Chain A
Amino acid sequence: IAGITQAPTSQILAAGRRMTLRCTQDMRHNAMYWYRQDLGLGLRLIHYSNTAGTTGKGEVPDGYSVSRANTDDFPLTLASAVPSQTSVYFCASSLQGAGEQFFGPGTRLTVL
């Protein structure tokens, strides 16, 4: 692995289903983030983690949960997907809790 990876690349999901988006980084970055990108709204922060074992809520956390059991992995879970969660999801990481963030390639999620 080089950098930050996300899986799956894309997913079509029925409303009400549970889904976990995976994110892994090998840069030993302390901080990790989940954003969603929607047309006209840019990137909005869902949840973040400044270090392993801690998480925080971003601008649009409702309907999402995260965990940070170790430095490398930061999965995002939709417990019961709704159509308004159709979006492109980006995971990012940074060395500290500030400064340049490195982004993954994104996961395109469609909830029907």
Chain B
Amino acid sequence: DQQVKQNSPSLSVQEGRISILNCDYTNSMFDYFLWYKKYPAEGPTFLISISSIKDKNEDGRFTVFLNKSAKHLSLHIVPSQPGDSAVYFCAASAGYGQNFVFGPGTRLSVLP
């Protein structure tokens, strides 16, 4: 059973609009979360992180929200750009020194 779920395999958004990518987790011990972005034929690259002591972290057009009680986090991209088209992975860790568990990914397509 997957501990980190990204229930939308794909998402299409118009350029300039908001993209919202969702991630749910089942392990209540997870307290540190990362989002990665992956282009075809490349390795994933780190995008943004959040720890459980916060409920929001913002970096430019990217904002991650964490709802600990719901075991849910989301990545918001505003405004979306065609270059944001990629696969986005959510990853969770149960603390320092613990390995990350990755979700299956969501393929985002930003249409011009």
- Give me the interface of A with B, judged by CB distance under 8 Å: 4, 33, 35, 40-45, 48, 50, 58-59, 90, 92, 96-106
Map CB proximity to A onto B27-57 as digits: 1 under 8 Å, 0 otherwise.
0000010101000011111100100000000
* Contact among B9, B44, B102 for A40, CB-based, below 8 A: B9
- 28 CB < 8 A contacts A-B: A40-B9, A41-B104, A42-B102, A43-B44, A45-B101, A50-B97, A90-B44, A92-B43, A96-B96, A96-B97, A98-B32, A98-B95, A98-B98, A99-B49, A100-B34, A100-B46, A100-B49, A101-B34, A101-B46, A101-B100, A103-B36, A103-B43, A103-B44, A103-B45, A105-B42, A105-B43, A106-B41, A106-B42
Given contacts A42-B104, A43-B91, A100-B34, 16 further A-B contacts (CB under 8 A): A4-B43, A33-B99, A40-B9, A42-B4, A42-B6, A43-B44, A43-B102, A90-B43, A90-B44, A98-B96, A101-B34, A103-B36, A104-B43, A105-B42, A105-B43, A106-B41
Q: Which residues of A contact B105 (CB under 8 A)?
A: 42
Contact B46 A42 (CB under 8 A): no
Separation of A104 and B32 alpha carbons in the complex (Å): 22
Contact A48 B99 (CB under 8 A): yes
Q: Which residues of B contact A102 (CB under 8 A)?
A: 46
Contact B97 A97 (CB under 8 A): yes
Q: Which residues of A contact B98 (CB under 8 A)?
A: 97-98
Separation of A104 and B45 alpha carbons in the complex (Å): 9
Q: Which residues of B contact A90 (CB under 8 A)?
A: 43-44
Interface size (B, Cβ < 8 Å)? 27
B38 CB, min distance to chain A CBs, angstroms? 8
B86 CB, min distance to chain A CBs, angstroms? 13
Q: Which residues of A contact B43 (CB under 8 A)?
A: 4, 90, 92, 103-106
Separation of A43 and B91 alpha carbons in the complex (Å): 9
Separation of A40 and B2 alpha carbons in the complex (Å): 11
